[in-house]
Amino acid sequence: MPPLGHYPTPVQRLPSLSAPGAELWVKRDDRTHDVYGGNKVRKLEYVLADARARGARRLVTVGAVGSHHVLATTYFGRQAGFEVEAVLVPQPRTDHVIEVLRADLGLGLRPFAVRSWGAAPAAVAARVLRGAYLVTVGGSSAVGTQGYVDAGKELAAQVRQGALPEPDVCVVALGSGGTAAGLAVGFAAAGLRTRVVGVCVSSPPWALRLAAGHLARVCSRRAGVRGAHLTMDTRFLGAGYGHVTAAGDEATELARGAGLAVDPTYTAKALACALWFVRARQAGSVLYWHTLSSAPMGPLLRGAPEESMIPRELLALALVARPPHDRRQARRMALT
């Protein structure tokens, strides 16, 4: 099967965001694909190949209502001829969340709305019992994570070719863990000493640490490597998944000046952490791994339903943002 994405993705220095003695570089995984890029493409290379090898015709996955992973699975899954189903859970409402949901529906996703993450496993299990192939949250199974082991080796080749210096740290958003864990294993496999810092963007942090650590161990064992170096930074999470932060907003402004678009849920928080490493002179060379698709949403929204045509129980999953202590009210809203 030909690769889904375009590799290697470019690396660039960001002089305007560097400091004396601390250089910031970016790995442009926003450009993995022309229609929908970002970090889900590399994982789906492996996940879709596995689904096909097992004779699956239908996929089921799970994510928040504006999940990039659900959109990527829908787009690439449909392209590969699969039917695609997803169990969708609430998240704070933004324009981007609504666009992603509209694109999902326009591409033919079959959605199953549930009220909370707690209700998701039973809904997913029901679809799996009906024969769907399970694509885990974020595509972060050991199979999907292999895509980022490859990406780590890809970066090591770019270092060897002189495209960038060996990074002291690589900073990347950590949602379900596959990207950060795969990179740590890929770097170690290729002999880089680069430490991966996964920026926690979801809660609870201990569950993310567990998931990422588990994936790093399984993939290290499979690849026969030792010394994968992965840590997690929880300082940039703020009120939780999908909630904006002041540091993220500042990083968004600075990124715009450097010609990069970031999102509030993942990449603004990861870039804020990378900027901290630069400003605190905690590393001579910092690599920020950009995981957000930079492809325009227009083509994905062609044929998508307008917001007013989206069934109410789906639209209600995009919650009007409120402080996390108001969870019960948020839950009630999702029911109305």
- Residues between 47 and 76 that touch ligand PLP (CB under 6 A): 68-69
Spatial strand order in the sheet of 11-13: 11-13, 23-28, 285-290, 169-174, 195-200, 230-233
* Shorter beta-carbon distance to ligand PLP: residue 69 or 127: 69
* Shorter beta-carbon distance to ligand PLP: residue 188 or 212: 212
From 18-26, 123-131, 175-183, 312-320, give the range in contact with ligand PLP by CB under 6 A: 175-183
Check residue 291 for interaction with ligand PLP (CB under 6 A): yes
Of positions 61, 140, 146, 252, contacts ligand PLP by CB under 6 A: 140
CA proximity to 175, closest of 91, 300, 261, 100: 91
Of positions 66, 111, 167, 177, contacts ligand PLP by CB under 6 A: 177
Check residue 174 for interaction with ligand PLP (CB under 6 A): yes
Q: Tell me how far apart the alpha carbons of residues 240 and 245 are, in angstroms, rounded to a whole number.
A: 9
Check residue 219 for interaction with ligand PLP (CB under 6 A): no
Provide, rounded to whole angstroms, the least separation between the CB of residue 211 and ligand PLP: 9
Provide, rounded to whole angstroms, the least separation between the CB of residue 148 and ligand PLP: 7
Check residue 146 for interaction with ligand PLP (CB under 6 A): no
Q: How many residues bind ligand PLP (CB under 6 A)?
A: 19
Of positions 123, 156, 173, 216, contacts ligand PLP by CB under 6 A: 173
From 47-55, 105-113, 178-186, 239-247, give the range in contact with ligand PLP by CB under 6 A: 178-186
Residue type, 177: G
Provide, rounded to whole angstroms, the least separation between the CB of residue 38 and ligand PLP: 5
Check residue 179 for interaction with ligand PLP (CB under 6 A): yes
Q: If DSSP states are collapsed to H, E and C, what string results for the chain? A: CCCCCCCCCCEEECHHHCECCEEEEEEEHHHCCCCCCCCHHHHHHHHHHHHHHCCCCEEEEEEECCCHHHHHHHHHHHHCCCEEEEEEECEECCHHHHHHHHHHHHCCCEEEECCCHHHHHHHHHHHHHCCCEECCHHHCCHHHHHHHHHHHHHHHHHHHCCCCCCCCEEEEEECCCHHHHHHHHHHHHCCCCCEEEEEECCCCHHHHHHHHHHHHHHHHHHHCCCCCCEEEECCCCCCCCCCCCHHHHHHHHHHHHCCCCCCCCCHHHHHHHHHHHHHCCCCCEEEEEECCCCCCCHHHHCCCCCHHHCCHHHHCCEECCCCHHHHHHHHHHHHC
- Residues between 266 and 285 that touch ligand PLP (CB under 6 A): 266-267
From 11-19, 107-115, 173-181, 317-325, give the range in contact with ligand PLP by CB under 6 A: 173-181
From 52-60, 115-123, 163-171, 263-271, give the range in contact with ligand PLP by CB under 6 A: 263-271
- Residues between 87 and 126 that touch ligand PLP (CB under 6 A): none
Check residue 264 for interaction with ligand PLP (CB under 6 A): no
Check residue 38 for interaction with ligand PLP (CB under 6 A): yes
**Strand-strand pairing, 58-64 and 23-28:** unpaired
Binding site for ligand PLP (CB under 6 A): 38-39, 68-69, 138, 140, 173-180, 263, 266-267, 291-292
